[in-house]
């Protein structure tokens, strides 16, 4: 959370600095303020709306069955394990759900640590032994305990805001400069001349779209880096709850899973993410072998003491 807070402070500091620089270039202050407000509303609005609706969206998008009253021995066992692990880390019992899917997967989501959801695929229950299921549940409980859903939302909101503001600011300056180069004789009448304003508007739209795509790509790299790091922390958190051996065994079992079938809006939350066939930098999850090796190093370091 401290990293996310620092990121937010840095983001707004950069926006304010750029705002002052824009004013010195001749951009009216009300335009700068309008861009800042728009960037914040759109950037954070979309991210937090998704977060607050995350449980509702997740349950319906994967047709999950919420376990309100356990109907069989497996459901009783799942509820008891989640209840015990939640108590162990000091959070309220999350809602537990099972959803139909062939792949071995699970995820946690929710706007608050004490009002979260843990969802498990039917493929996981059919293909993992109970020690491995315990480890996966502990991994998701660790995500909740770490506040990963809120942290990732803050990071996404900051990056969205930054992308919208920077692309708008740079586009505003570039479109003005290029318009003046194309029609230098109209510079003194630019706000009253229809043709000048028309060219300027078209340039602004084109440049803004191009820069939005470019900056958005860089923002995705940052988001995915944070996503990969949180998987390592959740693995270690699970190892602290159930032991490193169980978590390593669960990750080994994931190697035999079908390719994840979950929707793209949920895949970054899952314990098993989709492989990126182009470049690892855009992957939401580290390779399973890296996660296993990290757990082994952690386990060996614990043994020394």
Beta pairing, strands 95-99 & 117-121? parallel
How many C-beta atoms lie closer than 10 Å to residue 91's C-beta?
Answer: 18
Spatial neighbors of 5 by CB under 8 A, at least 6 apart, are none
Cα angle at 43 between 26 and 109, to 5 degrees? 165
How would you label 52-63 residue by residue, b for 16+ Cβ within 10 Å and e otherwise? eebbeebbeebe
Q: Are 146 and 237 in contact (CB under 8 A)?
A: yes
Helix (H, G, I), strand (E, B) or coil at 276: coil
Q: What is the DSSP letter of 256?
A: T
Q: Are 270 and 261 in contact (CB under 8 A)?
A: no
Q: Is 134 a catalytic residue?
A: no
Instruction: Choose the catalytic residue: 140, 252, 262, 280.
Output: 140
Q: Which residues does the annotation mark as catalytic?
A: 140
């Amino acid at each position: 959370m401290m990293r996310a807070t620092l990121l937010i402070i840095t983001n707004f500091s950069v926006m304010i600095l750029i705002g002052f620089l824009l004013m010195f270039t001749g951009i009216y202050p009300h335009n700068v303020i309008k861009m800042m407000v728009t960037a914040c509303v759109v950037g954070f609005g979309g991210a937090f709306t998704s977060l607050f609706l995350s449980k509702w969206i997740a349950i319906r998008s994967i047709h999950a069955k919420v376990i309100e009253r356990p109907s069989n021995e497996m459901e009783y066992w799942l509820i008891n394990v989640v209840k015990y692990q939640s108590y162990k880390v000091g959070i309220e019992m999350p809602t537990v759900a099972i959803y139909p899917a062939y792949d071995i997967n699970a995820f946690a989501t929710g706007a608050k640590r004490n009002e979260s959801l843990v969802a498990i695929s039917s493929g996981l229950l059919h293909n993992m032994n109970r020690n491995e299921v315990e480890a996966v549940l502990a991994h998701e409980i660790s995500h909740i305990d770490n506040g990963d859903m809120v942290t990732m939302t803050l990071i996404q909101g900051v990056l969205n805001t930054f992308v919208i503001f920077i692309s708008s600011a740079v586009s505003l300056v570039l479109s003005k400069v290029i318009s003046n180069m194309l029609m230098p004789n109209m510079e003194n009448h630019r706000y009253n001349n229809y043709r000048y304003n028309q060219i300027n508007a078209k340039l602004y739209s084109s440049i803004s779209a191009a820069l939005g795509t470019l900056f958005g790509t860089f923002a995705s790299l940052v988001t995915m880096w944070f996503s990969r790091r949180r998987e390592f922390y959740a693995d270690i958190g699970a190892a602290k709850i159930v032991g490193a051996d169980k978590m390593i065994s669960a990750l080994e079992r994931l190697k035999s899973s079908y390719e994840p079938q979950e929707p793209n809006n949920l895949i970054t939350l899952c314990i098993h993410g989709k492989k990126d066939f182009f470049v690892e930098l855009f992957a939401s999850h580290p390779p399973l072998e890296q996660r296993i090796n990290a757990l082994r190093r952690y386990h060996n370091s614990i043994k020394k003491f």
